[in-house]
Structure 1
Amino acid sequence: MLWYIAIILGIVQGIGEFLPISSSAHLILTRWFFDWDPIIHHLGENIDIVLDVALHVGTLLAVLIYFFRDWLQMLTHGLSTGIKTKEGKMFWYLVVATIPGGIAGLALEAAIENFIRSQILIIALGLALMGIILYYVDKKAAQIVNFEEITFRQTILIGVAQALALIPGVSRSGITMTAGRLLGFTREAAARFSFLLATPIIAGAALKQTPGIIHNIANPLFLVGTITATIVGLISIGFLLQYLQRHNFAIFAVYRLAIAALAIIVYAIRGA
């Protein structure tokens, strides 16, 4: 078995899911750059499913492990005291903010993925445009809202923005962090809220694939992909929260433009 494919895709997923660079775009581009699709399909018809499930489970475990105490407190307060405490209030804010993205995902995910997955130029355009928007918003927006000060209205707006992440290249973390910055969140608050908001969305994606998890849980490729995505995801979350205490999002915007340019160049060279 080709262990390196599961490891590299796990690394790509663990980084791309939490940094504002689009995991879906990077997974598509990685497979396209190295022409891995024929190799993956040759390994078996279900290998695509095995890898997809493994990567979702890995990033779900990463965010649950990193924010375990936060979620335990929010869940406990949310179910026992409602919105009377800040933890309970944040729990219900996150529940409501998940709804727009969840509805959009159920209605449009398959159609968007089937159409755009093979459209390299559209993916590159999404990477570039979102990079420019992220840079501009982050540069101009004030940093006046800390995590504890987030309001219900702000969570709804970020939840609506999250629906745009269905388009590969936009990035779920990228669009939610950009929306948070546009609303005046501090960079760290924008990232923390984005990570917490990711939890139910990633969990929903993993639950949809429960049969695949049960069927493939003993598959070595599944285990390798899951473990890799979990470890790298934990590192990525910790890195970004630390990084944003002293730096802005500029490096991610520049990177998005660079990878978009590379994709366009390779596309032009290959002629397809």
Structure 2
Amino acid sequence: MKLTQIDLAEGRGGSQREVSASEAVARAEEACGGTLLLFEPDGAPRAAVAICPGGGFGKVNTEHEGVAFAEWFVAHGIAAGVVKYRLPEGDPALPQQDVERAAELLRNRFDGVKTGVLGASIGGYLAACAALAQPAARRPDFQLLFYPVVSMEEEFAHRPSMLRMFGRELHGLEAKRRSPLYRIDRAAPPAFLAAAADDGAVTPLGACRYAECLLAAGAGAALHLYPSGGHGFGLRREFAWREALVGELRMWLDATIGTV
């Protein structure tokens, strides 16, 4: 496995340097905002994915919602870039810019294979926004959303994240305008969604509604709602439904990007 640290933020020159794979977690934790940690398999990758961890815009959960996913993807022949995005700190455009730059970098670097985005929790919001970018030519080929925030409307929003991103609560048309849920169209990339029925932080109804809107638009969706697991389960070993999750994820990826 090859691991490269790449600067995403403007003004830092897009510098790159190889780092030891054994230092992946430490590097991810220490990296400043606007950094991509790119994990590549030894052979040519069959796809690539930009990973947007959660953290409620108070931090970025680079370990269990970033590196853990990346290592799983590499083991299955897929290049994966963990996005240590900048926190909003008064400018809601900052984290989204980092995610979009990361997705573009992967498209350019791995020309000829499908590229996607993965997001967990509020990272799911960033990933969904990137997946539904305009023009449609900038969109990734697939999206993977884990217990995602899909709307800034009261029934779906994660209030602490919204306040940290926008500095205030959003309502009405403004909340809808800031919600990827309302950007879904027929050209939306197919989605794999996973959530737990007992999630007390981000309602699983958001993932259900997102899948419903995709299907209504004629786009592809695979929704996996597990009976338990709460919020933030990622690929943790203690998640009771982990084996079912990784099996379903592997099958969906094989069908979407092709087998080796």
With the length of structure 1 as denominator, give the TM-score of the two structures.
Answer: 0.25
- Higher RCO structure (Cα 8 Å, ≥6 apart): 1
Which of the two has higher C-alpha Rg? 1
- The structure where helix makes up a greater share of residues is 1
Going by fraction, where is strand more abundant, 1 or 2? 2
